[in-house]
A = this chain, B = another copy of it.
Amino acid sequence: MRANQFFDLGRTLAGLAACALVSATAIAQADPLPSWNDGAAKKAIVDFVQATTTPGSAQFVPAAERIATFDQDGTLWVSHPVYAQLMFCFDRVPALVKAKPELANKEPFKTVMSGNREAIAKLSIRDLEQIAMATLSGMTVEQFSAEVKQWMAEAKDPRWKRPYNELAYQPMLEVLAYLRANGYRTYIVTGGGQDFVRVYSESTYGIPPEQVVGSANVTSYGYDKEGRPFLIKDPKLLLNDDNAGKPEGIHLMIGRRPYAAFGNSTGDRQMLEYTKAGSGLRLSMLVLHDDAVREYAYGPAQGLPDTHVGTFTQALYDEAVRSGWIVISMKKDWKKIFAFDP
């Protein structure tokens, strides 16, 4: 019996050792951020998650308070040279003109209808706002969702010839999944249209519509001829979810200060600042577009003009350094940009 007991003990110890070996291997293999090169950016993300989610850690954050916010355009997917949503607006102009023929000879719709790319590229911010307001309103919220869904299924980015949702950045999808696996709720906080992004946020980023905060028009409750109620999108801005509008939108829609925030332009400055100003350990990160080969290099930091409204300026870079935000270099920190990259 003694021999047997010894044998059993030996077997148990061997089993435990094997388990420990398997676990260590599993942990070593399960890099949550496989598309990231080792470096300050990757380390900052992993350290943040470990410090805020390990019980007993001085910087532990209760699960209910784990909120992370992400700008979309240029942070989660390609936004250069033109935002996807603006392409949607241009593509909707013919249907708009058909419904309202008086717009055919009215600028800026006339220029868009001409198809003259050079002239379209010269449209002012004010023109673009007018096009956006006209094409993003006048329909019920269900009609709008259906139109965006169809457009997303058909439209392709001119450079990669792929649907826009395939142009999500693989390393950022990994950050989203890693944070969620550690109890964080991930929100999009975009200057883009809330109703637009909500259509594809779940399938593209794993983020449900109720976790999308964005610019939003007023909607009006009314009734159709059969007396059925509907919500119609009005041509009137309710929330401008950019710049100071981002922390204001976060307070309105979430009601908690994020522990982590990710952006890529001056439009994200206040969100990153507000996040970092919270107590305890907070993570503010900026995506720098410095990879002219695999994606784009733009912004004054690269000595290149930026066609965007929001941009990554030298002043923003300086604030990042001064305030302890972490800059992500797409060129150095990311092994691959897209899921389809080799």
Return the chain B residue nearest A246 by Cβ.
Answer: B221
A229 cross-chain contacts in B, Cβ below 8 A = 247, 270, 273-274, 277
| A220 cross-chain contacts in B, Cβ below 8 A | 244, 248
CB-nearest residue of chain B to A274: B229
Do the beta carbons of A253 and B210 come within 8 Å of each other?
A: yes
Residues of chain B within 8 A of A113, CB atoms compared:
none
A to B CB contacts below 8 Å, 13 in the list:
A195-B255, A209-B254, A210-B254, A210-B256, A212-B255, A218-B248, A219-B251, A221-B270, A221-B274, A229-B247, A229-B273, A229-B277, A231-B251
Q: Does A282 contact B (CB under 8 A)?
A: no
Chain A stretch 238-266: residues in CB contact (< 8 A) with chain B: 238, 244, 247-248, 251-256
Please judge, given known A-B contacts A229-B270, A231-B251, whether A221 and B202 are in contact too, CB under 8 Å: no
Output the nearest chain B residue to A247 by Cβ-Cβ distance. Answer: B221
**A256 / chain B contacts, CB cutoff of 8 Å:** 209-210
What mask results when residues 262 to 303 of chain A are scored 1 for a CB within 8 Å of chain B, else 0?
A: 000000001001100100000000000000000000000000
Cα–Cα, bound, A141→B274 (Å) = 13
Contacts of A153 in B (CB 8 A): none
Shortest CB-to-CB span from A268 to chain B, Å, is 13
With known contacts A64-B208, A228-B277, A252–B221 Cβ distance under 8 A: no
Chain B nearest Cβ from A100, distance in angstroms: 25
Residues of B within 8 A of A221 (CB): 244, 247-248, 270, 274
Pick the most buried of A212, A231, A238: most chain B CB atoms within 10 A of its CB: A231
Query: A231 — which chain B residues lie within 8 A by C-beta?
Result: 247-248, 251, 274
Point out which of A208, A228, A252 has the most chain B C-beta atoms below 10 A from its C-beta.
A252
A273 to B231, CA, bound (A): 12
A residues 186-212 near B (Cβ < 8 Å) are: 194-195, 198, 202, 208-210, 212
Least Cβ–Cβ distance between A221 and chain B, in angstroms = 4
Is there contact, CB below 8 Å, between B255 and A219?
A: no
